[in-house]
Amino acid sequence: HHEKHTEHGAVVRDAIIGFADGLTVPFALTAGLSSIGSSKLVIIGGLAELFAGSISMGLGAYLAALTEKKHYEVEEERERREVEEMPEAEEEEIYEIFQPYGVKRETVRGVVEELKEDKESWVRFMMQFELNLVKPKVSRLYISALVMGLSYLLGGLIPMIPYFAIPNVTKALFVSIGITVVMLLSFGYVKAIVTGTTRKAAVWSAFQTLAVGVLAAAASYGIVRGIDKA
C-alpha cells in the first residue's frame, strides 16, 4: 500500500509540475510574440517552444527518476554490506526504530530474530524504516518522463488555441489571456486541494499561480515589444 501511495504521489507531482510549466512558459512566450503582430509567428514560435519544452521536461523527469533509482541502489548495497559485516550494530538500529513508539525491547526481539532469518528482508526493512526509501520500479522512469512531457504539452496547447482560431492577433491575445487566467486560477486551486490544504489556502494558491503566469507574460510582452521597437 505504501509503495502504491508513493508512486501515485510521484505521478501527481510530475503532472502538476508539467502542467503548471506548460500553462506558464508557452503563454508568456506567445504573449510576447503577439506584440510583433503576426499570428503565424506566434504559432510557429509557440509550437517550437512547446515541443522543445515537452521533450526537455520529459528527459529531465527521466533523469531525475534515474538518479533516484541509482541513489536507492547505492544505499541498498551499503545497507547489505552493513548487515553482513556489522550485524550487531544493525540489530541495535532495529530496536532504535521502534523506540520512539514506546514498543518494549522484549517485544521487538521477536521481530529482530525473524528478520535475521532472511537478510534480504532485513535489508529491505532497514531501507524503508531507517532510511525512508522505497525501491523505485523501472517503469517509474518511463512513466515519469511520459507524464511530465505530456502534461507540459497539454498545458501549453491551451493558451495557444485562440491563435489557431482567430486571425486577428490582438483579439487572439485577449482570448488567450482570458482562457489562461481561468485555467491558472482553476489549476492553482485544484493543485492545492489535491495536496491536502484548506480551502482558504487553496484560494491563496490559485491567486499565487495566476500572479506568476501574468507577471511572466507581461514581462515577455514588454521585452519583445521593446526589442521590436529598437
Q: What is the mean pLDDT of residues 187-213?
A: 81
Q: What mean pLDDT comes out for the span 84-90? A: 90
Q: What percent of the chain has pLDDT over 90?
A: 29
Residue type, 66: L
Residue in the block written with cell 495566476? 210
Amino acid residing at 31:
A
pLDDT tens digits for 106-164?
888 888 888 888 888 989 999 999 888 888 888 888 999 999 999 999 999 999 999 99
pLDDT at 62 over 90: yes
- The domain in which residue 218 lies consists of 2-229
pLDDT band at 78 (very low <50, low <70, confident <90, very high): very high
Q: Are 149 and 58 in contact (CB under 8 A)?
A: yes
Check: CB of residue 111 under 8 Å from CB of residue 94: yes
CA dihedral 187, 192, 194, 199 (to 10 degrees): -110
Per-residue pLDDT for 1 more than 50?
no
Our count of domains for the chain comes to 1
pLDDT higher than threshold 70 for residue 210 = yes
Q: Taking the model in full, what pTM does it have?
A: 0.77
Residue type for position 193: I
Higher-confidence residue of 219 and 82: namely 82
| DSSP H stretches of helix in 86-198 | 87-98, 105-117, 119-129, 139-157, 161-165, 169-194
Distance in angstroms (rounded) separating the CA atoms of residues 173 and 8: 36
Burial zone of 47 (CB within 10 Å; 0-12 exposed, 13-18 middle, 19+ buried): middle
Percent of the residues in the chain that have a pLDDT greater than 70, as a whole number: 96
Task: Give the CA distances from residue 33 to residues 26, 103, 159, 169, 216, in Å, rounded to whole numbers and listed in that order.
Answer: 10, 64, 13, 10, 13
